Amino acid sequence: MDITTKMPHQSWGQKYHIKTLSLVLLTVGLVLLSAQVSGVDLAMFFTNIDQFTNLLVRMSHPDWAYVTIIWQPILETLQMAIIGTTIGTLFAVPFAFLAASNIVKNSWLHGLVRFFLDLVRTLPDLLLAAIFVAVFGIGSTAGVVTLAIFSFGMISKLFYEVIETIDDGPIEAMESVGANKLQVVHMAVLPQVLNPFISYFLYTLEINVRASTVLGYLGAGGIGVYLQRSLNEFDYSQTAAIIIMTLVVVLVINVLSDYLRERLV
């Protein structure tokens, strides 16, 4: 007998991949629409490209002597990123557990916590930096606080999603032996989430090292301050030195964290 007559009926939508197709069309449509509404002129990108090459030429003689001055602020940028990410993560961990539906069974409570975390994530980091520069004055404190809040929002979400994907069996087993909530988390949850937690921490750190160079531009400390100064003074050989050094540091951090994350899996 012909197998095709026995096969289950496939719906029209499934057969022609209607869902995927409409999603692609919708995305393309939205991109074009938003370009039009916001007045993005793609042609300008190509007509003005000579300005870009012009800039590159002027930056082609990095001021290597300047490196001796900027390695300190680059280190400061790194420190900001590390401290900010760590503080944010420390605060994020308890919130991540409260937001995970397999830990907190009360849907009101974890719903409320998630809503709060969503709110935190809507705050743009540049806005935060501007506010904290106003509050704490120009310097790295503003940068650290900004990065801490940004990491808090990001890490808490990444972490609670990790927690929700774990095997619930060990949780059940620990509840059945009479463990209390903290003991359940310690025995059954932590061993399952520790490696992904560390991996996401490193990933966030990578992002923050990049972000903190930009934050410095707003006066939040670190290398960004020097970047802004050199650009204002049209000292492009200094700008070039800063950019190259920053790229090197970011690259080193990324390679390091990639290496560590691979070791973890």
Partner 1 sequence: MEAKSIIEFKDVNKIYDNGTVGLKDINLTVQPGEFLVVVGLSGAGKSTLMRTINQMHRPSSGSVLVDGVEVTDLKGRALRELRRKVGMIFQNFNLVKRTTVEHNVLSGKISYYPTWKSLLNLYTKADKLQAAEALDRVNLLEKLYMRADQLSGGQQQRVAIARTLMQDPKIILADEPIASLDPLTTRAVMNDLKKLNQEDGITVVVNLHSVPLALEYADRIVGMRAGQLVYDEPINRVTESDLNAIYQSV
Convert residues 73-102 into a mask of x (bound to partner 1 by CB under 8 A) and - (unbound).
------------------------------
Q: Which of 41, 172, 233, 258 binds partner 1 (CB under 8 A)?
A: 172
Binder to partner 1 among 81, 145, 174, 253 (CB under 8 A)? 174
Which of 180, 229, 247, 251 touches partner 1 by CB under 8 A? 180
> Which listed range, 43-51, 136-144, 184-192, 217-225, lies at the site for partner 1 (CB under 8 A)?
184-192
- Supply the minimum distance, in Å, between the C-beta of residue 225 and partner 1: 43
Give the footprint of partner 1 on residues 132-171 (CB under 8 A).
167, 169-170
Per residue, the 3-state secondary structure of the chain, as one string, reads: CCHHHHCCCCCHHHHCCHHHHHHHHHHHHHHHHHHHHHCCCHHHHHHCHHHHHHHHHHCCCCCHHHHHHHHHHHHHHHHHHHHHHHHHHHHHHHHHHHHCCCCCCCHHHHHHHHHHHHHHHHCCHHHHHHHHHHHHCCCHHHHHHHHHHHHHHHHHHHHHHHHHCCCCHHHHHHHHCCCCHHHHHHHHHHHHHHHHHHHHHHHHHHHHHHHHHHHHHCCCCCHHHHHHHHHHCCCHHHHHHHHHHHHHHHHHHHHHHHHHHHHHC
What minimum distance in Å lies between the beta carbon of 15 and partner 1?
33
User: In the set 188, 215, 220, 249, which binds partner 1 (CB under 8 A)?
Assistant: 188
The only residue of 6, 182, 262, 265 in contact with partner 1, by rule CB under 8 A: 182
Q: CB-side exposure of 213: number of CA atoms within 13 Å?
A: 20
Judged by beta carbon, residue 81 or residue 103, the one nearer partner 1 is 103
Q: Are 234 and 99 in contact (CB under 8 A)?
A: no
**Closest by alpha carbon to 243, among 63, 80, 51?**
63
Neighbouring CB atoms inside 10 A of 161's CB total: 14
Report how many residues bind partner 1 under the rule CB under 8 A: 19
Shortest gap between Cβ of 107 and partner 1 (angstroms)? Answer: 12
- Interface residue with partner 1 among 175, 210, 217, 237 (CB under 8 A) is 175
Rounded to a whole number of angstroms, the minimum distance from the CB of residue 86 to partner 1 is 21
Among 131, 187, 198, 243, binds partner 1 (CB under 8 A): 187
> Cα(179)–Cα(83) distance, rounded to whole angstroms?
35
**C-beta of 59 vs 187, nearer to partner 1:** 187
Q: Binding pattern to partner 1, positions 17-56, x when CB under 8 A? A: ----------------------------------------
Phi-psi region of 144 (alpha: psi -120 to 50; beta: other; left: phi over 0): alpha
Residue with Cβ nearer partner 1 (17 or 181)? 181
In the complex, the residues that contact partner 1 under the rule CB under 8 A are 167, 169-170, 172-180, 182-183, 186-188, 191-192
